[in-house]
Amino acid sequence: MIKTRFTELFGVEHPIAQGGMQWVGTAELVSAVAEAGALGFLTALTQPTPEALVKEIARCRSMTDKPFGVNLTILPAITPPPYAEYRQAIIESGITAVETAGHRPDEHVAAFKAAGVKVIHKCTAVRHALSAQRMGVDAISIDGFECAGHPGEDDIPGLILIPATAEKVTIPIIASGGFGDGRGLVAALALGAEGINMGTRFCATQEAPIHDGIKQAIVANDERATALLFRSYRNTARVARNSVAEEAVRIEREGNPFEAIAHLVKGARGREGLISGDPEHGIWTAGMVQGLIHDVPTVAELVSRIIADAEAIMTRRMGAMLAAPAVA
């Protein structure tokens, strides 16, 4: 059993989290993560309305009586979703753990804290982690450059970013980006984290609500099979490398505005691919950790394997490296 400040703070058995993932963070996956002893997060904006989110929370509760949370990602938009209404739906549903991410979460963090909700904020830089700590969040999820989705604009890999954050931040941090097995968990703990957050690895599980064709593409891909979009727009996103992503990158590199690639990268097109199982249909989020994913287990099998492997590394392999002092 591996106990950390993260497991104690959120009342879970294992120092593993499944962060919010658009179109993927639904009750089927989140309840399985909770049942396996880790901390899963429903993705609020996957639900079309706050009322639909309330129903999804209730559906998840009907599938598990263990702790789970909700992710609320704040993104700048011309016509933003009704974030305050989603926030209120989360609070009124009795959720006690929230993962926030994105742009200026101050208002939401303050409201969650006032309601007694514990908040993890996702960050991609030490300075952002320090700002979130001052804001009053309970924990930090620090995303290295390897991560799927938005890795920020500093391009700092986890091997540096995790310990750099741990040196400056006093609240618990969990490491995100590039994690998928027991080796990664041990490494994260050694670097100063209190656990790991996984997205791509949880996509390649039996309970993930996406087509098996996408899961098999993740298994077939290696660590080079990602592309970075939106670099020139200062909104970098790491996605699976496919013909659509490569075309979008080509158009962007020619100096074209976002509108020139919008038809390629729109979320509805990506969601259609996740449903149909065609990995070439649109863009879909995936991290470099694809190179470490070789099967599609159940969530319970995955979590128990990660913990067993981590414990074996810490007790047997590392223990054997500590040679007994020579007797004079």
The 10s digit of each residue's pLDDT in 190-238 is 999 999 999 999 999 999 999 999 999 999 999 999 999 999 999 999 9
**pTM, two decimal places:** 0.96
User: d(Cα 200, Cα 296) in Å, to the nearest integer?
Assistant: 11
Residues 23 and 63 in one domain: yes
Alpha helices in 151-209 (DSSP H): 158-168, 182-190, 200-203
Same domain, 192 and 250: no
The whole-number pLDDT of residue 321 equals: 83
Successive 10-residue mean pLDDT values, the chain, 328 residues: 97 97 97 98 98 98 98 89 97 98 93 98 98 97 97 97 98 98 98 98 98 98 98 96 98 97 96 97 98 98 98 88 68
Residue 44: which domain range? 5-207+296-316
Same domain, 70 and 130: yes
**Do residues 303 and 245 share a domain?**
no
Dist CA 150 CA 264 (whole Å): 18
173-176 and 196-198 beta bridge pairing? parallel
Q: Is residue 325 in a domain? A: no
Structure tokens at 107: 């208002």
Q: According to the model, what pLDDT value does residue 76 have?
A: 77
What DSSP line would sit under 197-245, residue for residue?
EESHHHHTSTTSSS-HHHHHHHHH--TT-EEEE-TTTT--EEEE--HHH
Q: Give which of 77, 19, 35 is closest to 298, Cα–Cα.
A: 35
Same domain? For 75 and 199 the reply is yes
192 and 158 part of one domain: yes
Residue 102 and residue 218 in one domain: no
Which token pair is 156?
Answer: 């700092």
Report if residue 157 sits inside a domain: yes
Domain membership of residue 250 (yes or no) is yes
Sequence-ordered list of residues with C-beta below 8 angstroms from that of 105, at least 6 positions apart, any chain: 74, 121, 132, 135
pLDDT, position 4: 98
Are 144 and 189 found together in one domain? yes
Q: What is the 3-state secondary structure (H, E, C) of 53-74?
A: HHHHHHHHHCCCCCCCEEEEEE
Question: How confident is the model over 126-147, as pLDDT tens digits?
Answer: 999 999 999 999 999 999 999 9
pLDDT at 328: 61
Give Cβ neighbours of residue 102 (< 8 Å, ≥ 6 apart).
Answer: 73, 74, 75, 122
Inside any domain, residue 323: no
pLDDT of residue 323: 67
Residue 291 lies in a domain: no
Q: What is the pLDDT of residue 75?
A: 87
147 and 132 assigned to the same domain: yes
Residues written for the chain? 328
- What pLDDT sits at residue 145? 98
